[in-house]
């Protein structure tokens, strides 16, 4: 039985949607209907912003440790409901359940806890000469989020904004929205003051643009495609609103000649294929020395044998389906383009994985002999497609890594950490992992170039939601 949602969470209560128009959400693994959600109108978006604006004066002056208390309780409730959240997102997005539990449910839970502690411990004032610098919340924040790590991206914005003393209107992706309803239920349960958090679902061009354009919205925190991010920035420019953008990526993983290939290549494939490649920071371009291309290809092909796609709920694979039929078509289009442009297909391709004709599965795919000017090396595919690009010198590898409109993430593998660190400093991206360094939820995440503006997570993510006032004495 499909889940049916017919209300928005506005001003502390569930408000029935005015329009009968709905969006359908599909189970990625089977293509069956998973849920329907209401399509919000401009009027509903506006009333959510009004509620957030009305709640701001009291919330912004509440003692930060008391705000943190609410967020701590949210984190506890998220932990209690983690199985349900993981199952929900495994259905909506298609990430295998065993990974979804730790990543899709666990990370947002930790992010709420981190922001709870941060609000309590933050130095809100600083003395500079004859000035006292006071940090104050920006105001009402419109949070617009995508579908690939849906609750994680929501938590990055909402937890930090609320901890800082801002109030929020959230418009999640229509493709994976049910986790956002769970979060709203939790806010209701912990007794968050009315209007501090509001949820309105609907399309980006209608609800998204309405909350961005509303005169009482002070800041927009957006995660999604570069195309939609540019549109958001354009609208926000009219009233000079603060904009924080987390956009796409096309990250390079440089494997230097003295690296341990047997470790680096399987690790690189995992970081390309995680969440079926639907990860903004996915390491989608693997750069290997031309003299060792054949060896790298053999290792890559052997690794892919361990990535047979399976149902995300019932299967036992690291690889599930893509999120939707549209995404599957988009990815197959890129595979076709790679073949047409002359890249050499060494694994996967256009055929659906055997026995998985229902649902949105694409075979794990590897192209080799990719040139960096090919479409598959320049554009974000958001599918399980790896491009292996040969290089002739370290300088060329760095130049290829930086030859991208994007600047979100990257990887470097070398014989020593010192060498990898030296190369990492030359990569123009917001993050770089060396010799397989783990994702760190306390480290700032965000992009150079067209990957965005601003940072999320940890101290830097929290400070995005603050103004600074200098009071001279």
CB of 201 to ligand NDP, least distance (A): 8
CB of 418 to ligand NDP, least distance (A): 29
Q: How far apart are CA 115 and CA 125, in angstroms?
A: 18
Judged by CB under 6 A, does residue 464 bind ligand NDP? no
Q: What string marks each residue from 262 to 291 as x (binds ligand NDP by CB under 6 A) or -? A: ------------------x-----------
Judged by CB under 6 A, does residue 92 bind ligand NDP? no
Judged by CB under 6 A, does residue 203 bind ligand NDP? yes
Judged by CB under 6 A, does residue 144 bind ligand NDP? yes
Tell me if residue 280 is catalytic: yes
CB of 358 to ligand NDP, least distance (A): 23
Q: Point out which span in 48-56, 217-225, 287-295, 463-471 binds ligand NDP (CB under 6 A).
A: 217-225
Q: How far apart are CA 333 and CA 265, in angstroms?
A: 26
Judged by CB under 6 A, does residue 335 bind ligand NDP? no
Catalytic residue among 272, 280, 297, 456: 280
Q: Nearest-CA neighbor of 195 among 215, 170, 212?
A: 170
Contact status, residue 259 vs residue 434, Cβ threshold 8 Å? no
Distances (CA, A) of 49 to 2, 139, 218, 233, 294: 30, 11, 10, 18, 57
CB of 36 to ligand NDP, least distance (A): 14
Residue ranges in 164-193 that form contacts with ligand NDP under rule CB under 6 A: 171, 173-174
Nearer to ligand NDP, 161 or 288 (CB): 161
CB of 151 to ligand NDP, least distance (A): 12
Q: Point out which span in 146-154, 183-191, 286-294, 417-425 binds ligand NDP (CB under 6 A).
A: 146-154
Query: Any idea how long the chain is?
Result: 473
Contact status, residue 212 vs residue 239, Cβ threshold 8 Å? no
Q: How far apart are CA 220 and CA 137, in angstroms?
A: 13
Nearer to ligand NDP, 213 or 269 (CB): 213
Q: Point out which span in 125-133, 240-248, 287-295, 370-378 binds ligand NDP (CB under 6 A).
A: 240-248
Locate 299 and state its tokens. Answer: 């290792």
Q: Nearest-CA neighbor of 190 among 304, 338, 25, 79?
A: 79
Contact status, residue 162 vs residue 67, Cβ threshold 8 Å? yes
Among 228, 362, 366, 376, binds ligand NDP (CB under 6 A): 228
Helix (H) or strand (E) holding 150: helix 150-164
CB of 408 to ligand NDP, least distance (A): 6
Judged by CB under 6 A, does residue 147 bind ligand NDP? yes
Q: How far apart are CA 400 and CA 405, in angstroms?
A: 12
Across the strands, what pairs with 296?
none
Judged by CB under 6 A, does residue 452 bind ligand NDP? yes
CB of 357 to ligand NDP, least distance (A): 24
Across the strands, what pairs with 242?
219
Judged by CB under 6 A, does residue 52 bind ligand NDP? no
Nearer to ligand NDP, 165 or 452 (CB): 452
Q: Point out which span in 58-66, 107-115, 161-169, 242-250 binds ligand NDP (CB under 6 A).
A: 242-250
Q: How far apart are CA 142 and CA 207, in angstroms?
A: 10
CB of 266 to ligand NDP, least distance (A): 24
Among 102, 205, 215, 342, binds ligand NDP (CB under 6 A): 205
Report the residue number whose CB is nearest to ligand NDP.
Answer: 204
Contact status, residue 379 vs residue 363, Cβ threshold 8 Å? no
Contact status, residue 88 vs residue 179, Cβ threshold 8 Å? yes
CA-based end-to-end distance of the chain: 65
Distances (CA, A) of 433 to 94, 355, 458: 26, 36, 17
Instruction: Please work out the total of residues on this chain that contact ligand NDP, with binding judged by CB under 6 A.
Output: 32
**Phi, psi dihedrals of residue 338, rounded to the nearest 5°:** -60, -45
Catalytic residue among 92, 174, 209, 246: 246
Tell me if residue 88 is catalytic: no
Say which residues have a Cβ less than 8 Å from residue 456's Cβ, sequence separation at least 6.
156, 157, 160, 244, 246, 444, 445, 446, 464
Place of tokens 């970081």: 271
Q: Which residues are catalytic?
A: 246, 280
Residues that bind ligand NDP (CB under 6 A): 144-148, 153, 171, 173-174, 203-205, 208-209, 212, 223-225, 228, 231-232, 246-249, 280, 380, 382, 408, 447, 451-452
């Amino acid at each position: 039985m499909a889940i049916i949602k017919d209300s928005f969470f506005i001003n502390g209560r569930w408000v029935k949607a005015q329009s009968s128009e709905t969006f359908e959400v599909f189970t990625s693994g089977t293509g069956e209907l998973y849920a329907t959600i209401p399509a919000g109108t401009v009027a509903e978006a506006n009333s959510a912003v009004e509620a957030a604006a009305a709640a701001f004066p009291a919330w912004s002056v509440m003692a930060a440790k008391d705000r943190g208390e609410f967020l701590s309780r949210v984190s506890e409730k998220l932990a209690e409901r983690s199985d349900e959240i993981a199952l929900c997102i495994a259905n909506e997005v298609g990430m295998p359940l065993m990974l979804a539990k730790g990543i899709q449910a666990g990370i947002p839970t930790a992010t709420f806890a981190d922001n709870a502690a941060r609000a309590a411990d933050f130095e809100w004032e600083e003395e500079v000469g004859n000035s006292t610098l006071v940090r104050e919340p920006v105001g009402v924040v419109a949070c617009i989020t995508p579908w690939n790590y849906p609750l994680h991206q929501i938590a990055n914005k909402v937890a930090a904004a609320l901890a800082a003393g801002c109030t929020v209107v959230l418009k999640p992706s229509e493709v994976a929205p049910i986790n956002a309803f769970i979060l709203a239920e939790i806010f209701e349960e912990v007794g968050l003051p009315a209007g501090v958090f509001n949820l309105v679902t609907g399309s980006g061009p209608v609800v998204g643009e309405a909350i961005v354009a509303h005169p009482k919205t002070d800041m927009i925190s957006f995660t999604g495609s570069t195309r939609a991010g540019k549109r958001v920035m354009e609208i926000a420019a009219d009233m000079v609103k603060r904009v924080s953008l987390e956009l796409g990526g096309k990250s390079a993983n440089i494997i230097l000649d003295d690296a341990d290939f047997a470790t680096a290549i399987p690790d690189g494939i995992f970081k390309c294929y995680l969440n079926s490649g639907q990860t903004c920071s996915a390491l989608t371009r693997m750069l290997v020395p031309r003299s060792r291309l054949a060896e790298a290809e053999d290792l890559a092909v052997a690794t892919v044998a361990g990535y047979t796609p399976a149902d995300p709920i019932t299967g036992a694979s690291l690889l599930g389906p893509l999120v939707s039929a549209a995404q599957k078509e988009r990815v197959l289009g890129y595979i076709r383009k790679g073949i047409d442009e002359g890249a050499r297909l060494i694994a996967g391709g256009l055929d659906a994985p055997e026995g998985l004709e229902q649902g949105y599965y694409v075979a794990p795919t590897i192209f080799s002999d990719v040139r960096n000017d090919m479409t598959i090396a320049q554009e974000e595919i958001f599918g399980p497609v790896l491009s292996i690009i040969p290089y002739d010198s370290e300088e060329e590898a760095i130049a290829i890594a930086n030859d991208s409109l994007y600047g979100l993430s990257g990887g470097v593998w070398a014989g020593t950490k010192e060498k990898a660190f030296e190369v990492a400093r030359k990569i123009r991206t917001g993050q770089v992992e060396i010799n397989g360094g783990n994702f760190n939820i306390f480290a700032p995440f965000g992009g150079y170039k067209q990957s965005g503006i601003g940072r999320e997570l940890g101290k830097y993510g929290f400070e995005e939601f603050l103004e600074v006032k200098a009071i001279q004495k």
